Structure 1
């Protein structure tokens, strides 16, 4: 079994934690990010900065040419980003069609190329109700397919699958991570909005750990 792993790294809290969990386990980490036309493309700038500072091999794949098959989401199209707590109906607007299947497929090809035996991605317990491609059954099926898709089997792992955002944050804090080096907001402005579902969930995670978020936020009315 190879000790090399590809981590899908968006630049957000979950994948930031995952990246460092893999390193803490002594794995040889290759970070892989995607530009799929997301309005919060600022997360890629954050991902680049972290990988450069820590000497982690990092590749960003531009798949904006696939925008026609990943459109209609508030993250990729001119659709208003829902605000407030995650609710299944409103947050369906943030679902990018087939995103994780596409990204995991590309990441599996990259894993074969760099000799990695696994692809890690940051699906977690708080995503299950909203995002079908973050549910345990999806991970299980993608893992089964990617094990047989090439001569070299590649596993699909979601180590955070049983954790909520607060637990993920606690895991990272135990590793001494600085979450001021992440970007979560779905709006790609200078400061985090504090209103979108992603910001609200992040702020609740810090509150549950008795901490203030180090990110700068826009003034909330």
Structure 2
């Protein structure tokens, strides 16, 4: 019987690759997406479509009430999404306070209830400059806590923690993944903006892999 694992699945290209990596490793993933009050739900629609195609059980949980506690981000409030490269200081406006600790805590609880052994999420080295909750020291400490927080120890798994988005894409392309099933843009318009940090890093990854992004851009 395949090992059951939880994959925190945003609908973006990183978590899409993580989900497929878990499948390729012979795991039995349960995909878990969160509506945390982000400025658009387009990524959640993409997540649902991908899981349906992959035949992966998928749960979307509404935790948008936390916005009354952890606001102040361009991803959740009426603040313009900054344009520019992903690692520029202006991108700190996209930090949602304590987001990954909250999401991981909920995912670990779900893992315990489902008799799963691990929780996967898609942190990578490009996140380190801006997002404290994607850094190796955070993952290390969360693993320490999740080993003792329940009767069952749950491992936090970050397959791409030390590599770039371009390297994640390289791995995904080697698995022949269809990235038209993913949404990365911080804006939720009909087409991706191509200007926000998330779009720029995605496009950079495709350029580095000498590949074409299947998403339409403004």
Task: Give your verdict on TM over 0.5.
Answer: yes
| Structure 2 gap ranges (5+) | none
TM-score (norm 1): 0.96
Residue of structure 1 equivalent to 2:15: 15
- Could you say what secondary structure the match of 2:147 adopts? helix
Give the 3-state SS of the residue equivalent to 1:49 in structure 2. Answer: helix
CA deviation after TM superposition for structure 1 residue 87, in Å: 3.3
Residue 217 of structure 1: how far off its partner (Å):
0.5
Task: Give 3-state SS (helix, strand or coil) of 1:168's partner.
Answer: helix
Query: Which residue does 2:52 correspond to in 1?
Result: 52
Are the aligned partners of 2:87 and 2:126 in contact in 1 as well (CA < 8 Å)? no
Say whether the 8 Å CA contact 2:119–2:157 is kept in structure 1. yes
Task: State the alpha-carbon separation in 1 of the partners of residues 104 and 66 from structure 2.
Answer: 15
CA contact (8 A) 1:69 1:97 kept: no
In the alignment, what sits opposite 1:36?
A: 36
Aligned counterparts of 1:190 and 1:147: Cα–Cα separation in 2: 42
Q: Distance in 2 between matches of 1:180 and 1:18?
A: 16
Matched, 1:3 2:3: yes
- How far the C-alpha of 1:164 sits from its partner, in A, is 0.3
Mark the runs of 5 or more structure 1 residues left unpaired by the alignment.
Answer: none
State the superposition RMSD in angstroms: 0.9
CA separation in 2, counterparts of 1:123 and 1:90? 20
| TM norm structure 2 | 0.98
Q: Between Structure 1 and Structure 2, how many residues are aligned?
A: 217
Q: Which runs of 4+ in 1 moved over 2 A?
A: none
State whether structure 2 residue 199 is matched by structure 1 residue 199.
yes
